[in-house]
Structure 1
Amino acid sequence: MEFRAQIEQLLNDFLAEREDLFLIDIKFSATDHIRVILDGDEGVTLQDCLDASRAIEFNMDRDEHDFSLEVMSAGLSEPLNSLRQYRKNIGRSLELILNDGSEVEGELEKVEDDHITLVLKYRKPKDIGKGKVDVVEEKDFLYSDIKKALVAVKF
């Protein structure tokens, strides 16, 4: 079996046993450095990363093929790229960058197969008179219109 296919199979076997975890990305460099990014329905612990690393490393022969392996959790700086990631972040604030370059921030309320729904809160000028009014609205965004989606971190 080819080296990459072996690594992918070992990782898939591990993830089949740990249904709470899922693969975000796997990258192979030209120098056989493997970078695995995992996420989980309840987050990813250091132990989860160690277990995934061991599932691969303990089943590969380094004399046959030398490689380095890095297993990590998807951090806050990683954009959301799967329905499962969106679902686990319902109730959190998201920052969206849309394909037209505009940016939107709101609370993730619903996740569907083709779109998400955000609750947007903002102030707009009154229709009559001076001042502003608070506005709360739900707005749908198609995945195809989203260039990048990040969990907004509030301090």
Structure 2
Amino acid sequence: MEFRKRIEELLNEFLENREDLFLIDLKISAGDDVTVILDGDHGVSLQDCLDASRAIEFNMDREEHDFSLQVMSAGLSEPLAIPRQYQKNIGREIEVLLNDSSKIEGELARVDDEKITLILRYRKPKEIGKGKVDVEEEKEIPYTEIKKSLVIIKF
């Protein structure tokens, strides 16, 4: 069986038993360095990474095919890649870079298979008189318009 297909098969078997985890990326370099990036509905623990690594490592024969394996969680600085990642971040502030290079920041309110909905909060000048008023509006953004999304980390 082809090396990549065997790795994918073992990873899929592991993820079938761990429905709270999901694959973000699988990279295999020309030198057979395998990198698996996982995320989870409730985060990814070190034990989760060890379990995934063992599920692959213990079922491969290094005598037959030598490789290196690295299993990691998607970090906070990693962009959101799939709807399930957006779903787990509902209620958080995110920054969205659109295909036209404009940026939008807002609270992630809803997610579906085609789009995300942000709540935008800002101040704008009053229409009559001096001063400003607080404005809150919702903006729907289709995935096709998103270049990159990052969770804004606040301390």
How far, CA to CA, are the matches of 1:29 and 1:70 in structure 2?
Answer: 12
Alignment: residue pair count: 155
Q: Report the secondary structure of 2:129's partner residue.
A: coil
Query: Partner amino acid for 1:5?
Result: K
Alignment of 1:1-155 (within 5 A): 1-155=1-155
Q: Secondary structure at the match of 2:153?
A: coil
Q: Which amino acid aligns with 1:151?
A: V
> Deviation per CA, 1:18-55, whole angstroms, max 9, x where unpaired?
11100000000111100000000111000000000000
RMSD of aligned alpha carbons: 0.8
- Determine the C-alpha separation between the residues in 1 that align with 2:74 and 2:17: 20
Q: Shift of the alpha carbon at 1:130? A: 2.5
One-letter amino acid of the counterpart of residue 48, structure 2: D
Whole-Å Cα distance in 1 between the matches of residues 26 and 112 of structure 2? 26
So what's the TM-score if we normalise by structure 2?
0.97
The runs of 5 or more residues in structure 1 that have no matched partner are none
Moved more, 125-134 or 103-112: 125-134
Question: Equivalents in 1 of 2:21, 2:119: separation in Å?
Answer: 28
* Structure 1 moving runs of 4+ over 6 Å: none
Whole-Å separation in 2 of the counterparts to 1:142 and 1:5: 32
Q: CA deviation at 1:133?
A: 1.5
- Mapped to 2, the partners of 1:2 and 1:69 lie a distance apart of 17
Q: Which runs of 5+ in 2 are unaligned?
A: none
Percent identity, aligned pairs only? 72
**Per-residue deviation, 1:123:** 1.1
Secondary structure of 2:12's aligned partner? helix
Task: State how far apart, in whole Å, the 2-side matches of 1:30 and 1:105 are.
Answer: 38
Q: Which amino acid in 1 is paired with 2:50? A: L
Letter in 1 for 2:80: L
Query: Mean alpha-carbon deviation: is it higher for 129-138 or for 91-100?
Result: 129-138
Separation in 1, partners of 2:56, 2:35: 12
Q: CA deviation at 1:144?
A: 0.8
1:108, 1:52 → 2: CA distance?
30
